[in-house]
Structure 1
Amino acid sequence: MKIKQKQRLYALALACLPLFSAPLVSAPLVSAPLVLTQTNNQITAVETATFEQVLQAAMNHDSEYRAARYTLEGERQEISMARSQLLPRLAFGAGYTYEDTDNIYTDKDNTNYYKEDDVRSSGKIHDNYWRFNIRQPIFDRSLNQDLNRAKNQVTAAEHRYQQVKQQLVFKVADVWLNLLYAQMQVHFSLENLESLDLRLAQAERQDQLGVGDQLELLDISARRDLAQADLLAAQSELSEKLLEIQLMSGRKLLPPAHWVTTAHQLEVTQQPQSIEAWNKQAIGNQAYQEQLARVAMAESTRLAKRAGHYPTLNLDLDYTNRSSDDEFREKEGFTASLNLSLELYGGGRTSSALRQAQARLNAEQAQADKVVLDAQQMIAVAWAKQQNLYQRLQALKNSMLSAEGYQQAATRGETLGLKSQVDVVEANARLFQARERHAEALVAYLLSDLRLHLETGQLEPSKLQEYDQLFNQLNP
């Protein structure tokens, strides 16, 4: 393979092979540089971005996150609506009445009441009125509990919103880290293939000159073909991850190129907290906090149903102005009244509603217990996995150092005639394999760290800023 062809293949593999012929989905991210790639005389721009930039794009694009935000905005109105039931209500009413009746005033034979020039004696009377009424609840326990229920409903929506946001942070980090790993696989496969191409070309020249080893040539050729297959598999995996990112963010995004070539140098610190400390923080899990708010909602509902056994007391202020053709029906007045109401018997409806509310409260409490236990289980798995991965990373770090030393020794040995080309090829393969395994363990370690923060309700966007700083500190 010629050098120009290798360079082109490297650029294409890193820049997203499946998206070359597709147009850009939207405008580029702020401060995100573009990587230009060319194939078949077509130019494709792929944006490079950091964890924080990908998260911002995903927040603008993710429909579930937007739905949770709008739901929270709507639920917050529940408090105002419930509070309004406790405030004075002013009502205005007006009406018109036409009446055509027969009575003692319209009876012509009844001379004591019938008067020909009296409007009442015609039996046809026109009335109109208007009124203002103010009602202020003075005692109603159900209304107070309904306000408490509304507050808890908003609290549940707030925790639900935080839960969706934190899940999106985890999802973005998961896909982004796996995309980075897929890029690293392509990078290592390309380096391995390039090394094998050089060795194969050298072995072929030696064979043509009659000084080569036919068996060595076949061995290198077989390794080269296998490396080509590995590259194709890595490119396929990279294509899938790029598509996931595009579907998640609506953009064609890639991590910075120097992350791909330097991530194997990254060193992580061991998790200082014990499993007991993490389990204590499980109560901060956003799903658990949401469920606790639902338990409080169910308790408020139960108390509101129980309030059906208590009386209600309202103050009514009423002003009425009535005009009529009949002067005896005209009226203007102000009325103040206290109205007490107590249901003595309703067919068992209140008692049944109370038992139903109690059962639902028990169900919500049981669900809350399940949520926190599930969170603790996930914490235990993630913590144990992270501890193992930390030890594995240290072992792989030593393995990479040994592989680098072996590669250098094999190269020098070949120069001195003490090692064959196969030995050098094997040394290169060991080094690439050690780096790839280190990258795989690194991604798994970081995801375990994210899982611990997610299950304890601590996974905020600032966590991804820490990851950006972690990767950017590496020298290209």
Structure 2
Amino acid sequence: MDGASAATPTGGETDAAPADSMLGNPASQATASGVAAPGEAASAEPLPSLPALFKAALDNDAKLASQRYEAEASQQNVPMAEAGLKPQVQASAGYIYQQSDNYYTDNPAYNPDNELSRVGSDYEARYKGVTRDQTWQLQLTQPLFSLERWRKVGKAEAQSAAAELKVAVGERDLALNVAKSYLDAFLASRKLGLLDAKRKSLELQVKQAQRAYDLGVGDRINLLEARSRLDQAVSDTLQAENELDNALSALERLTGQSPRFDGSALGDLATVDLPSDWGTADDWLSRTANNVEVKLGKQQQKVAEAETGVRAAGHYPELNLNLSYSDRSSNDPFRESRDASASVQLDVPIYQGGYTSASVRQGELSARASRASYTNALQMARQEVRTRLRGLDGDVRQVQALQRSIESSRLFLQAAEKGQQLGLRDLVDVLDARAKLYDQRIQLVEVIRQYLLDQLNLQAAVGALDTRDLVDTMTLLQRVSG
């Protein structure tokens, strides 16, 4: 994903929508007893920028940083392999102290005390059998032919490319994780707003039911029903708070920042129109070769094939050119020397106990395993495309059905409230209608969240996920938030 280099906007355009509404028209939802319309007190704070959070995650995520360092380390395999084709120069120095019992020390004719011998002559070190030598040597080796070393360079380049693709996979996964945590936080914050409005409405209903019961004109069943609904709303609120805290904690871990989702306002979701024309499945399936995991599987297959080639090159001979120069100084002048040599050395592997053949077979099996892994990655990418396309189609149809259902529930709530005023309906009917309307609104926001996740994962499945998709996600969320 090319999110690191792309421009990071602070947000998209915001469509005009009633800011004082959670879902629908609040004015038509006020009860005759003075119950506040849902969403009227909700705040419309600006949303944190999703692209900016992803940019921060690119610099903060420890797992991605580890993958980057591993990729840089893998790149060093290339010069290391190329070094095997270049001249190798080595210098060495040494000091040798040697005591020996040889022809000179055992022969009395060469005794330094003999008159015929000269004490302190060139033979003195040999008479005593003690020599002290200082040597230094400079040696150069140049490979003239080594198929194994040539193939190691190709293997190192394939490994470096595979390491870069692992970083690309890590960036894609990071983008999806940031987006998922962001959408979870958005959903939880909006659920809190809806549940808070629902709780306040139920508190007033409980007070009404209690007052009616105390005056002897109410039903105890209605009172118990209202209290049960209120307790359930409190429980749902606590759960939503926990979900919000978890999502914010995940965002802080990924990005190193603590974004705030203080707003809980929602625009008129009845007017939200989600794109539904995604083209044919065959068009999307033809693009799965661009999936970064598929590319990684293909590259890992090349690495395995290169490794097999390196192992097979062990059957071929190697030809090296050797140049050397050495200088020896000694207390025995007959041991002093300066030598320069040049040689061509041919090494032919004949038999190594079957090691090379077994190594080649092992490499071939590893190459087959990598081909199977590549096939699996391609099949998984295609399955992901099919799943996400079905999900998007179902999300759009579900949103449309929920929009119609919310409108019907809103009209039913108005009818139930008027029926209660006229004595044709009781409090339980009103509570049922109101709770159903709130639940449908929450469900609608959940479906929109799933729609956005399916959309992002579909782009990721064909290797097309980039910062523009995050901006589009922000734009839709801002339209939803009103």
Checking the alignment, whether the CA contact within 8 Å between 1:309 and 1:350 is kept in structure 2 is: yes
Question: Hey, what does 1:233 align to over in structure 2?
Answer: 236
* Structure 1 residue 109 corresponds to structure 2 residue 92: no
Instruction: Answer yes or no: is the 8 Å Cα contact 2:135–2:328 preserved in 1.
Output: yes
Q: 1:122 to 1:331 in 2, by over 3 A?
A: closer
Cα deviation code 1:160-205 (max 9, x no counterpart): 2221221122122222222322222222222222223334444555
Change in Cα spacing, 1:353 to 1:268, as seen in structure 2 (3 Å) is same
Structure 1 counterpart of 2:404: 398
Aligned with 1:135 (options 137, 141, 145): 141
Aligned-partner Cα distance in 1 for 2:248–2:465 = 20
- Corresponding residue SS for 1:119: coil
Which residue is 1:70 aligned to? 69
Amino acid at match of 1:272: W
Once residues 436 and 261 of structure 1 are traced to their aligned partners in structure 2, the CA distance between those partners, rounded to angstroms, is 11
Determine if the alignment matches structure 1 residue 381 to structure 2 residue 381. Answer: no
Structure 1 residues 366 and 49, CA gap change in structure 2 (3 angstroms): same
Contact in 2 for aligned 1:88/1:135 (Cα 8 Å): yes
AA aligned to 1:94 is A
Matched residues in 1 for 2:102 and 2:212: separation?
Answer: 132
Tell me by how many angstroms 1:435 deviates: 1.4
- What are the within-5 Å matches in structure 2 for residues 63-462 of structure 1? 63-106=62-105, 107-109=107-109, 116-123=119-126, 124-202=130-208, 204-205=210-211, 212=217, 214-215=218-219, 218-219=221-222, 222-250=225-253, 253=258, 256-258=261-263, 260-262=265-267, 264=269, 266-407=272-413, 424-462=430-468
**Residues 95 and 130 in structure 1, CA contact (< 8 A), matched pair in contact too:** yes
Cα offset for 1:429?
Answer: 3.1
| Cα deviation code 1:87-122 (max 9, x no counterpart) | 2222111111223323344433269x9764333343
For 1:346, what is the secondary structure of its paired residue?
A: coil
How far 1:376 moved relative to its partner?
A: 1.7
Distance 1:368 1:92 in 2: 48
Letter in 2 for 1:108: P
Distance 1:315 1:279 in 2: 55
Which range is displaced more, 87-96 or 373-382? 373-382
State the shift of 1:140 in Å. 0.8
Letter in 2 for 1:64: K
Instruction: Determine if contact 1:183/1:260 at 8 Å carries over to the other structure.
Output: no
Whether the 8 Å contact between 2:182 and 2:247 is mirrored in structure 1 is no
Q: Name the SS for the 2:325 alignment partner.
A: strand
> What is the one-letter code of the residue matched to 2:469?
K
Report deviation, 1:231. Answer: 3.2
- Summarize deviations over 1:48-89 as a string: whole Å, max 9, x none: 733234434544554322322222222222222212212222
Deviates more, 1:344-353 or 1:396-405: 396-405
Residue identity matched to 2:88 = R
Distance 1:136 1:122, change over 3 A: closer
Amino acid in the other structure paired with 1:225: S
Q: Which amino acid letter does the alignment assign opposite residue 385 of structure 1? A: G
C-alpha separation between the residues in 2 aligned to 1:55 and 1:425? 42
State the shift of 1:419 in Å.
6.9
Considering only aligned residues, what root-mean-square deviation do their CA atoms show, in Å? 3.4
Counterpart-to-counterpart distance in 2, 1:177 and 1:327: 87
Decide whether the 8 Å contact of 2:159 with 2:303 is kept in 1: yes
Which structure carries more relative contact order (alpha carbon 8 Å, separation 6+)? 2
Q: How many residues align?
A: 432
The aligned counterpart of 2:48 is 49
Q: CA deviation at 1:261?
A: 2.5
- What is the CA-CA distance between 1:434 and the residue it aligns to? 2.4
Shift of 1:207: 5.9
Cα distance in 1, alignment partners of residues 353 and 78 from structure 2: 32
- Matching residue's letter, 1:222: E
The offset of 1:307, in angstroms, is 0.9
Q: What TM-score do you get using the length of structure 2 for normalisation? A: 0.79
Q: Distance in 2 between matches of 1:321 and 1:357?
A: 46
TM-score, scaled to structure 1: 0.79
Amino acid at match of 2:93: A
* 1:224 CA displacement: 4.7
Q: Secondary structure at the match of 2:287?
A: helix
1:299, distance to aligned residue in structure 2 (A): 0.9
Whether the 8 Å contact between 1:179 and 1:238 is mirrored in structure 2 is: no
The residue type paired with residue 109 of structure 1 is A
CA distance in 1, matches of 2:318, 2:366: 26
The structure-2 alpha-carbon separation of the partners of 1:267 and 1:99, relative to structure 1 and needing over 3 Å to count, comes to: same
Distance change in 2, residues 1:58/1:260 (3 Å): farther
Aligned-pair CA distance for 1:233: 2.4
SS of corresponding position for 1:132:
strand
Inter-partner Cα distance in structure 1 for 2:237 and 2:285: 38
Judging changes above 3 Å, is the alpha-carbon distance between structure 1 residues 118 and 252 closer, same or farther for their aligned structure 2 residues? closer
How big is each residue's C-alpha offset from its partner over 1:123-159, in whole Å with a ceiling of 9 and x where there is no partner?
2222212122222222111111111111111222212
Residue 464 in 1 paired to residue 470 in 2? Answer: yes
Q: 1:257 to 1:267 in 2, by over 3 A?
A: farther
Query: Structure 2 vs 1, CA of residues 465 and 136 (structure 1 numbering), >3 Å: closer, same or farther?
Result: farther
CA distance in 2, matches of 1:290, 1:240: 35
The C-alpha deviation readout for 1:408-429, integer Å capped at 9, x for no partner, is: 5666777788876666544433
